[in-house]
Amino acid sequence: MIRLLIADDHPVVRAGLRAVLESEPDFAIVAEAATAERAVELAAEAGVDVVLMDLQFGPGSAMNGAQATAAITARAGAPRVLVVTTYDTDADTLPALEAGATGYLLKDAPPEELAQAVRAAAAGRSALAPSVADRLLERMRTPAAALSARETEVLGLVADGLTNQQVSQRLHLSQATVKSHLVHIYTKLGVDSRTAAVREARERGLIRRA
């Protein structure tokens, strides 16, 4: 049996995932978590093989899904983490995969695709939503034009309306470093302003649309 932990702050989503997964004869739901912190705790103590991890949790959770993924996968013998979320921009996928997620799936995936992804994760194989896989492949084909995880993070904060000073404070960077990141972003996206960079990044699916 593949033992599963469902981590999502929405009870309806957890119930839906449970209903789909419990129909598979080789799956057993051993725990559920409504916060990222609780997911980290249960992953360490509940005999879990795969954690189905959302990325965004409500105000009751100080951690996000990527941070919880990093905490879970940092332990020896840790369960695999399969991200199941509604977000597929680079700003979401890169931190999760860098944190150690084995797979990344969208919540609108067909039940059979979800089951296949869980089995792949349990076996240590990657399972990626097609849109995520396509963009990762494009990053590999044109690495010079791809935004780094840090550049994506900086641009995401700029899109939220933060000034360079606020970005530097949020990310614990100097303002000169923030400006340097923006220069590289402008060059890679072929733009010459913050507004144009945000618009272009949203059109390419690098950051979330407003």
Question: Quick check: 71 and 77 in contact, CB under 8 A?
Answer: no
Q: Which residues contact 200 (CB under 8 A, 6 or more apart)?
A: 189, 190, 191
Calpha distance 28→52 (Å, rounded): 13
* Section 160-173 average pLDDT: 95
Q: Which of 19, 82, 74 is nearest to 52 (CA)?
A: 82
The residues facing 27 across adjacent strands are: 2
What pLDDT does 46 receive? 74
Per-residue pLDDT for 144 more than 80? no
Across all residues in the chain, what is the average pLDDT? 93
pTM for the complete prediction? 0.82
Residue 9: pLDDT over 80? yes
100 Cβ contact list (under 8 Å, min separation 6): 69, 70, 72, 73, 74, 81
Q: What is the pLDDT of residue 149?
A: 87
Residue in the block written with tokens 């990141």: 181
- Predicted confidence (pLDDT) per residue in 33-87, tens digit: 999 999 999 999 878 999 999 999 988 888 999 999 999 999 989 999 999 999 9
Instruction: State mean pLDDT over 184-192.
Output: 94
Distance between CA 139 and CA 122 in Å, rounded? 26
Mean pLDDT in residue range 28-35: 96
pLDDT at 108: 92
Question: What gap in Å lies between CA 51 and CA 35, rounded to an integer?
Answer: 13
35's tokens: 């916060």
pLDDT per position as a tens digit, 121-133: 999 999 999 989 9
Judged by phi (left if over 0) then psi (alpha if -120 to 50, else beta), residue 85 lies in beta
Residue type present at position 163: T
